[in-house]
Amino acid sequence: MERREHSDALKRLRSEVDRLNHRLQAVYEDKLDGKVSEELYDRISRQWKEEVRRCEDELVRCQEASETYMDEGVALLVIARNAHKIFETQRGTAQRKLLNFVLQNCIWQNGQLTANFRQPFDMLEETAAKSSKPQGADGYDDAGKENWLGN
């Protein structure tokens, strides 16, 4: 959902930049043809150029946010992959912090520990469980892919 909203925001900003640049070209041609005064052209073009700069700045922020989002996703996958090793090398409070980061609502009842993963670790656990099932009749292993397709 967030990916689609981000993509839509980028499309809207690019469309707005294109629309404003088209308007700037048209008003420039109107100035050359004598349809608008120099004063009106200066005022309008200054306003639209500022709006183009604002949209372009917003585009840059959105693209940087996308890169940060990807970097954070990769870091989470590395933590998930190495959580056991990290846990074993730490002691006491560091182990507790790691467990609190990955797990929530842990319950010890009747000699059994029940632990629930926090997001996004819950999705990773679910996908790992599905991928450990046998392949489909067609020989392809599609387990868990629906979680990553953004449907």
Supply the DSSP symbol for 147.
Answer: G
Give residue 133's pLDDT: 62
My answer on whether 75 and 111 are in the same domain is no
Residues 74 and 54 in one domain: yes
pTM over 0.85: no
- Domain extent at residue 9: 1-89
What percentage of the chain has pLDDT greater than the value 90?
Answer: 30
Distant-in-sequence contacts of 133-137, Cβ < 8 A, 24+ apart: none
Query: What confidence tens digit (pLDDT) does each residue in 65-79 have?
Result: 766 777 777 777 787
- Residue 8 has a pLDDT of 85
Query: Is the same domain home to 7 and 60?
Result: yes
Nearest CA to 22 out of 32, 11, 30 is that of 30
What total of structural domains would you count in the chain?
A: 2
Rg of the Cα trace of the chain? 26
In a domain, 146, yes or no: no
Whether residue 44 sits in one domain with residue 8: yes
Is the residue at 139 inside a domain? no
List of E strands, 9-121: 103-109, 112-117
Q: Does residue 77 share a domain with residue 120?
A: no
Gap between the Cα atoms of 125 and 102, Å rounded: 11
Higher pLDDT, residue 124 or 8: 8
